[in-house]
Structure 1
Amino acid sequence: MLARQRQAVILEEIRRTGAVRVSDLVTRLAVSDMTVRRDLDVLARRGLVEKVYGGATSVVGRSTDEPGFEAKSVRQLPEKESIAALAAGMVRPGTAIGLSAGTTTWTMARYLDDVPDLTVVTNSIRVADVLQQRGRTDRTVVLTGGVRTPSDALVGPVAVQALRALHLDVVYLGVHGMAPQAGFTTPNLNESETDRALVDAASRLVVLADNTKWGTVGISTIADLDEADVLITDEGLGSDARQVLSEQVGELVLAPVSARSRAEELA
């Protein structure tokens, strides 16, 4: 297969699923790892894809652009692993917590094995699946809704109404973007309403957002920066952003990032 043909296959797969992994393309195209990476370099230089850790995703820019779960799951893997591990370390046994939808909160759910007697409330299909697969014997409350979003969140009036009757100790919120004026945002209007209800149900808000979320603005605000009791991001965050956020959020926590992701260890 010629280089142009391989690149066309790669683009079609990204358009279909939102993301590709180098390892999958090596098998599908029957070429070497280096050949796939060169093809991705070519496509990235042309502005057709965005290279990420272990693969590539579609290019995102507008405030209503919403990559699917699979596309987001291959971005900033080491950062998300480190953020998730720190967040899970804050969870106290015997508490009721909320986990929003998102790839970082999904990763966090995989770190909760050693925290006993939890009640977990979530509107994330992926988070609920992780908790079920881990064989947890404590309580998982899955909020239902009328709409399933690209991030595999269940949202809508049923979920919002259920949250109004709940009282949680802490909510761990994944976001699409964070910025000084817009606050913590999402590109999905339906999801923002459910996320706001989740935040309102909790005594404490912990936001999980890697450094690439800084300066990104989705169409709808979930919470202002100063509503976050804790923001856990990573050490890749720039100095200017650190200054702004340290003045706005209750506590800014910077997770160290290792060169190697633990995703395979936790699978």
Structure 2
Amino acid sequence: MLTGLSWLALEVKSLAAARSFYEGVLELPVRSAGAERTGANTDETHTANEVVFAAGDTDLVCRRPTGVPRGGLHTHFAFSIPAAEYDDWWTRLTEAFGYDLEEFRFGSAKSLYLYDPDGNCVELGQGDVAGPGIDGIFEVVLEVESLARAESFYAALGFETVDRGDDRRRVRMDGPMALELWEPQLGIADGRGGVHVDLGFEVDDLEDVVSAVDDRARSLERREKRVVVRDPDGHHLTFRSVTG
């Protein structure tokens, strides 16, 4: 049903500070900043209150809180980097910028963790990507009130549960990216699930989305080539048709 992740939007206090971190430290190219522009992966209009970065084929949107959707707060999410670049990133972030990083291993793959200026827990994880540098967003964590309700909602959209936390208060689901649903808690590096997160997805059939979640969503609005949904926990989801 869902064919790709178009964007992840974060709420920031200072666009300048966000740009310094994501462009200056993490070397993400800027797609747009300071003027109205239609995004590369969507017909949404980005405004002067946003800076849009290219994380591979996915947009990372940093947005000042001037309207709805606001963008996510304290959101833990993960960027993909080529496995061979991991040590270079560790050296760069610790020696050139002075970050006190945390590291975790998932089987043979390693991830490092740091925080952006707005308290989002940013993971750089080894992946099978071309690079160079950050090449995609492979995981987003949402905070939810009821794990069973949230899991059912995203399963209806085609996400598949692949793991459960030992405390049974979180699940990991596979889809266009890995989606983790957490009841309120602290994770690795004290990361937290995001609240009122704004996600954009590509979809091959909008009617499938409507059928799947119309009776589950807080709200559902049809727009030209798009369906805009708020999930049961208030996360803002936009589904855009890729078939015209």
Per the shorter chain, which TM-score range? 0.3 to 0.5
> Which is strand-richer, 1 or 2?
2
Greater relative CO (CA pairs within 8 A, separation 6+): 2
TM-score by length of 1: 0.30
Query: Would you tell me which structure has more helix in proportion to its own residues?
Result: 1
